[in-house]
């Protein structure tokens, strides 16, 4: 049996929504799973990831075990367009694909929400996993050890642009630079901004979106990890981008506008070091799917 799963890129945090908010976008990784009697094998990915610790296989196995199924063996062929370690949820695509494939091939019968619950501990936070599985704009929270997730609409007026440089930022490094504790003022700042951000993304009201997208929990501590951050922010501003923020833990930055500014962004980012690429993206509404 063969199953092909396509999973969208995701941008987590969206400014103040650290470890909670995420949006799925129209850039994809595709994985073909072929059931075998035993053993595991891989193609289309670096040799160093061709082992039982590959997140795609880890999720496949975890779903099989959660359903009490005999896992058998599997060959996984990768066809990936999402750059790795750039804050676009490439690891979440592996996890979501492994989970969806095991669910289908082994007949586990889990719902998407049950798959998200199984997958979240593999990644450690749900902000990439839930949009990768459900598509769209999601908020996730952990309460007493249980995952809760909600989907919100995003205005069709908003245009999203991913600005992807040629260097990686490892999430573990980007998390290690964050403080262990925050002041009450910073916590209140982020809580209030998230509330306004969700509404601003729904209505497409730029006057609310611009202030709502700022944050005090992660971005101020991470900009040093993104080479040329200030120059990139200026280049986006000159192109007419009203907002600019770090996608996930970087290195990709995102901007949102109510106009198509892709040509202006292309022109300005071509002049910067680090080969920044401009990707105009639309919101993916479907999430992980068998194709």
Residues that bind ligand HSE (CB under 6 A): 12-13, 18-19, 125, 127-128, 171, 174-175, 218, 248-249
Closer to ligand HSE at the Cβ: 12 or 116?
12
CB of residue 192 vs ligand HSE: minimum separation in angstroms?
Answer: 19
CB of residue 19 vs ligand HSE: minimum separation in angstroms?
Answer: 4
Closer to ligand HSE at the Cβ: 13 or 233?
13
Distances in whole angstroms, Cα of residue 167 to Cα of each of 1, 9, 54: 38, 18, 22
Q: Which residues contact 46 (CB under 8 A, 6 or more apart)?
A: none
CB of residue 10 vs ligand HSE: minimum separation in angstroms?
Answer: 9
**Six token digits for residue 103:** 């669910």
**Six token digits for residue 121:** 């501990």
CB of residue 250 vs ligand HSE: minimum separation in angstroms?
Answer: 8
Closer to ligand HSE at the Cβ: 171 or 233?
171
**Six token digits for residue 10:** 């995701």
Closer to ligand HSE at the Cβ: 33 or 245?
245
Closer to ligand HSE at the Cβ: 33 or 131?
131
CA distance 241 to 232: 11
Closer to ligand HSE at the Cβ: 71 or 197?
197
CB of residue 117 vs ligand HSE: minimum separation in angstroms?
Answer: 18
Closer to ligand HSE at the Cβ: 127 or 284?
127
CB of residue 180 vs ligand HSE: minimum separation in angstroms?
Answer: 14
CB of residue 197 vs ligand HSE: minimum separation in angstroms?
Answer: 15
CB of residue 12 vs ligand HSE: minimum separation in angstroms?
Answer: 4
3-class secondary structure, 44: coil
Cβ–Cβ < 8 Å for 73, 40: yes
Cβ–Cβ < 8 Å for 25, 15: no
Q: What is the 3-state secondary structure (H, E, C) of 101-165?
A: HHHHHCCCCCCHHHHHHHHHHHHCCCCCHHHHHHCCEEEEEEECCEEEEEEECCCCCCEEEEEEC
Cβ–Cβ < 8 Å for 288, 82: no
Closest-CA residue to 8 (of 169, 134, 160): 134
Q: For residue 173, is the peptide bond before it cis, meaning its omega torsion is within 30 degrees of 0?
A: no
Closer to ligand HSE at the Cβ: 128 or 251?
128
CA distance 104 to 234: 47
């Amino acid at each position: 049996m063969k199953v092909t799963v396509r999973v969208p890129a995701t941008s987590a945090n969206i400014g103040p929504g650290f470890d909670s908010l995420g949006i799925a976008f129209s850039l994809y990784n595709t994985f073909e799973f072929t059931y075998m009697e035993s053993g595991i094998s891989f193609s289309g990915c670096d040799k160093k990831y061709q082992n039982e610790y590959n997140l795609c296989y880890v999720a496949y196995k975890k779903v099989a075990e959660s359903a009490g199924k005999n896992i058998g063996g599997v060959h996984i062929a990768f066809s990936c367009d999402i750059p790795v370690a750039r804050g676009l949820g490439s690891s979440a695509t592996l996890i979501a694909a492994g989970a969806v494939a095991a669910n289908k091939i082994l007949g586990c019968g889990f719902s998407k929400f049950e798959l998200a619950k199984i997958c979240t501990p593999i990644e450690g936070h749900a902000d990439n996993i839930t949009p990768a599985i459900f598509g769209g704009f999601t908020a996730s929270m952990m309460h007493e050890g249980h995952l809760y997730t909600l989907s919100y609409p995003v205005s069709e007026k908003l245009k999203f642009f991913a600005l992807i440089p040629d260097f990686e930022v490892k999430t573990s490094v980007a998390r290690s630079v964050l403080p262990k504790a925050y002041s009450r003022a910073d916590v209140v700042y982020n809580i209030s901004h998230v509330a306004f951000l969700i509404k601003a993304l729904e209505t497409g009201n730029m006057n609310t979106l611009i202030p709502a997208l700022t944050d005090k929990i992660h971005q101020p501590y991470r900009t040093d990890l993104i080479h040329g951050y200030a120059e990139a922010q200026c280049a986006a501003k000159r192109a007419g981008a009203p907002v600019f923020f770090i996608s996930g833990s970087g290195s990709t930055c995102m901007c949102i506008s109510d106009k198509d500014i892709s040509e202006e962004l292309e022109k300005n980012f071509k002049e910067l070091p680090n080969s920044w690429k401009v990707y105009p993206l639309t919101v993916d509404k479907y999430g992980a799917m068998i194709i």
